[in-house]
Amino acid sequence: MKQVEKQIKRRADELFTQDYEALHRRTDRIFAILMVFQWAGAILMALLVSPKTWNQGESSVHIHLWTAIILGGLLTSFPVFLVVTQPGRASTRQVIGISQTLFSAMLIHLSGGRIETHFHIFGSLAFLAFYRDWKVLLTSTIIVAVDHLLRGIYWPQSVFGVLAPSNWRWLEHAAWVVFEDIVLIAYCNQGIREMRDVSTRHAELEATNEIIDTQVRDRTAELAEARENLEQQVEERTSELAEALACVQRTNLSLQEANRHKSRFLSTMSHELRTPLNAITGFADLLAGEGFGPLNSKQKKYVARIDDSGAHLLSLINDVLDLTKIEMGAMELSPESVGIQELLQGAASMVSSQFEEKGIALNVNPEAVSLNVLADRRRTRQILLNLLSNALKYAPSGTEVSLNANRPDGNRLRISVSDQGVGVEAAKQQRIFDEFQQADRERDEALGGIGLGLSLTRRLVELHQGEIGVESTVGEGSTFWFTLPIATHAAESTPTVSRETLSNPVGDGRLILVAEDSEVNLAVLTDNLEIRGYEVVAARNGKECIELARKHLPQMIITDIRMPVMDGLEAVQLLREEPTFAHLPIIALTADASHVSRDECLGAGCTAHFTKPIDAKKLYPAIQQLLEASEGAKA
């Protein structure tokens, strides 16, 4: 600790010396500039206060002007020389102090001893205090006292402005100077103390920073070592994780392969089972019709059981096949705008006889009868039939099942099937939607279920971007519900025409430009258009489409979207910029059936949008209608 204190004191002394010397050099420069201006001021005072005099008709410069020029130059040049050659030295400060004091005496002389000029001495002493060196003030004070004493004796008018001043007047002036010296010396000592305090704090700060730097270096070294260890651990852990990930990926690939094998196996088995099953049910129908002779009661009973078992087995095979398609991503929906009342009434009519046979009332209550849903008609009917069959299976005779539809929010329709059956425990309500899961295995298997119906229903609802769930109380019944999106007014609509209209030529030689890079699709589209009486110009890409459009000026353009060189959307946008094609009917064909693709095509300037594979009963009437509308607008 003592060693540190000694280092701080030594460093503080060094800093104080540096700052003190810098202060002296700065003050030297200030006085050099001040004395040059003083010299010019003294000359100006000599000119104004002591003008030219006349002697027998001749003019001459007053002696005081020569005093200001010569003596002022001597009092200025030597200190300035020392400032330039020896700045910061004690001798330079003393010379500046003596010269500044003598300059004050000269100015008092030039002013004729005016009292206000004496204030120059007080100002000079104040400026000399900038050095914070009391010795400079002491020397200057002695010079002032001697000057006032000698000139007060021999030239009193030059210092006091009177010929007979008091004998002790010089002492009075010296006393005022001493009073100022006391104040200035106190200021100098205080400034020195402050400089030493600043130097000490600076030295302490440097020592503290050095200690901190040492600690930082040590800590940095520790952190670097820790980082190296951590990096090594991370590398080891990363290697372990990479190995584990590779193992998981291998396992995942194995599972995916096993899943594919399972899907292929289920699909193959479903198809293989369907063929003999169709023969079994067919023969059962033949026997039930008694085409080969009458059957006795037991035979009829057995044939009926064969037929029922065959129908049940066919339903299970269909469920397995549908689940396989969904898992393989092979099931595609064909969504369209379907009336909810049509869906509910259609599904209810298909199972009404079964409900009547079991003595269960089926009530259909569609609250939103005027709404349409965007759904695949066949798959939605399958969802409803699965839920109705499930209710029929568990509802006792003499109860009722309700099929309802309502609108819980702005863009979704909720469809529910409610029964008064056995109900489902809360802990099992989510599990029953998984494959091969049942609420009560022994009971459900006795009723002919294997746990696929609700699982398939959930998958079909999810394909419609909907939700499915159950609300149930054991012993009171269950309500199975699912949601479907409501069809908007913006749903695509196409004109309808009779089949006879399509069979007759309607083109009347109108020219249609077809842009399609697939030769097969181009040939199909071209042949269909030419059969209907249109002339066709074919382009293989968007660039060629633009060139042929400018050359032939067709009445319509039908373009594929994805083509080489330039795609269809870019070609449409460029054509729409030209006045000739600004209002020309343009139909976009795309394999992407999403609403995003449709919006992109219409946003690019297409008049209509059709998805592949093309439905001829929709496309060609639309072509005729668009052409007629375009010709009507021109007329």
Beta bridge partners of 363: 402
CA distance 613 to 518: 13
State the number of CA atoms in the 13 A half-sphere of 534 facing the CB: 23
| pLDDT of 615 strictly over 70 | no
Please say whether the beta carbons of 566 and 587 come within 8 A.
no
Tell me the mean pLDDT in the region 349-366: 84
Judged by DSSP in three states, 132 sits in: coil
DSSP 8-state class, residue 60: E
CATH architecture of the domain formed by 336-485: 2-Layer Sandwich (3.30)
| Amino acid 199: pLDDT | 83
Nearest to 148 by CA among 115, 188, 191: 115
| Amino acid 301: pLDDT | 77
Please say whether the beta carbons of 136 and 94 come within 8 A.
yes
| Amino acid 586: pLDDT | 94
Instruction: Give start and end residues of each alpha helix (H) in 289-339.
Output: 297-327
| Amino acid 321: pLDDT | 64
Residue span(s) of the chain under CATH 3.30.565.10 come to 336-485
What value does the mean pLDDT of the chain take?
Answer: 77
Please say whether the beta carbons of 479 and 421 come within 8 A.
no
Nearest to 512 by CA among 534, 527, 533: 534
Range from 84-98, 419-433, 563-577 carrying the lowest mean pLDDT: 419-433
| pLDDT of 279 strictly over 70 | no
Residue span(s) of the chain under CATH 3.40.50.2300 come to 500-634
Tell me the mean pLDDT in the region 64-77: 72
Beta bridge partners of 614: none
Highest mean pLDDT among 78-82, 107-111, 363-367, 485-489 belongs to 78-82
237-260: pLDDT as tens digits: 888 888 888 888 888 888 777 766
Nearest to 334 by CA among 582, 66, 611: 611
| Amino acid 308: pLDDT | 64
Query: Quick one: angle between helices 169-288 and 297-327, nearest 10?
Result: 150
Cα–Cα distances (Å) from 453 to 330, 383, 405, 428, in that order, read: 19, 9, 21, 16
481-539: pLDDT as tens digits: 888 888 875 344 333 333 333 344 566 788 999 998 888 778 777 877 887 789 999 99
| Amino acid 495: pLDDT | 38
Range from 51-65, 344-358, 423-437, 577-591 carrying the lowest mean pLDDT: 51-65
Nearest to 532 by CA among 590, 607, 617: 617
| Amino acid 543: pLDDT | 93
Judged by DSSP in three states, 311 sits in: helix
Q: Which CATH number fits domain 500-634: 3.40.50.2300, 3.50.7.10, 3.90.79.10, 3.40.140.10?
A: 3.40.50.2300
Please say whether the beta carbons of 123 and 180 come within 8 A.
no
**DSSP string over 214-272:** HHHHHHHHHHHHHHHHHHHHHHHHHHHHHHHHHHHHHHHHHHHHHHHHHHHHHHHHHHH
139-197: pLDDT as tens digits: 887 887 777 777 766 666 666 655 555 555 656 666 777 777 787 887 778 878 888 88
Nearest to 325 by CA among 268, 256, 382: 268
Is the pTM higher than 0.85? Answer: no
Range from 54-68, 227-241, 428-442, 504-518 carrying the lowest mean pLDDT: 54-68
- Bond prior to 396 in cis (omega within 30° of 0): no
CA distance 614 to 521: 10
| pLDDT of 275 strictly over 50 | no
Confidence band, pLDDT 50/70/90 cuts, at residue 462: confident
Tell me the mean pLDDT in the region 46-58: 53
